Amino acid sequence: MAYYLRFFCRAGEQVGQAAMERLLDELLDSGDPLLGEWHGPFVDEVAASGLATKGPDGQARADWLTLEMHAGVAFIAESVIEVDPDCEYGIWGCDLLATITLSGDNPDGVLVKRIWAALVKLWSAVPCDDISGFEIASDAPEVIS
């Protein structure tokens, strides 16, 4: 079964690939090497990649995760309204939705926290999942300086 962790952001991006590139640049500057594979092609508003932390043997240290970037206020509006119909969490008007999908028996928790911290640093991301909702924010990693 897959686990989905979503992040609502205000990024000023209209193209998913541009947001993905900016995030990947941040990740590559802030930790261990990554393995990556682009998933696509998609519409301009969506970009997706498979990612894993690269071990010393050149292989993935844990199961790969999927990172998706959906850009544009209109493009993500239904997702925003679905999780925050009364704007209780202040995410209305967000223009970027990043989703991490974890599956398998050995999730890369370190990479998830690294992505989370980068999203907060770049775009003040607000996290949400299907289990804890917005309460998942209490598990937030420290922002990478």
- Spans in the chain with pLDDT lower than 70: 41, 141-145
**CA atoms in the 13 A half-sphere facing the CB of 97:** 25
Compute the mean pLDDT over every residue in the chain, rounded to the nearest whole number.
91
* CB-CB contact of 123 with 13 (8 Å): no
**Taking Cα atoms as reference points, which of 28, 5, 16, 22 lies closest to residue 95?**
16
Amino acid at 116: W
Return the pLDDT at 35.
95
Return the pLDDT at 111.
95
Return the pLDDT at 30.
82
Using only C-alpha atoms, the chain has a radius of gyration, in whole angstroms, of 15
Domains in the chain, ordered, with CATH?
Answer: 3-139 (3.30.310)
**Taking Cα atoms as reference points, which of 39, 9, 42 lies closest to residue 115?**
9
- DSSP per-residue string spanning 44-92: TTEEEEEEEEBPTTSSBSS--EEEEEEE-HHHHHHHHHHH-TT-TTS-T
Return the pLDDT at 115.
96
Return the pLDDT at 144.
35
**Taking Cα atoms as reference points, which of 36, 67, 39 lies closest to residue 54?**
36
Q: Say how far residue 36 (Cα) sits from the centre of its chain.
A: 14
pTM over 0.95: no
Q: Which residues pair with 101 in a beta bridge?
A: 4, 66
CA distance 104 to 116: 20
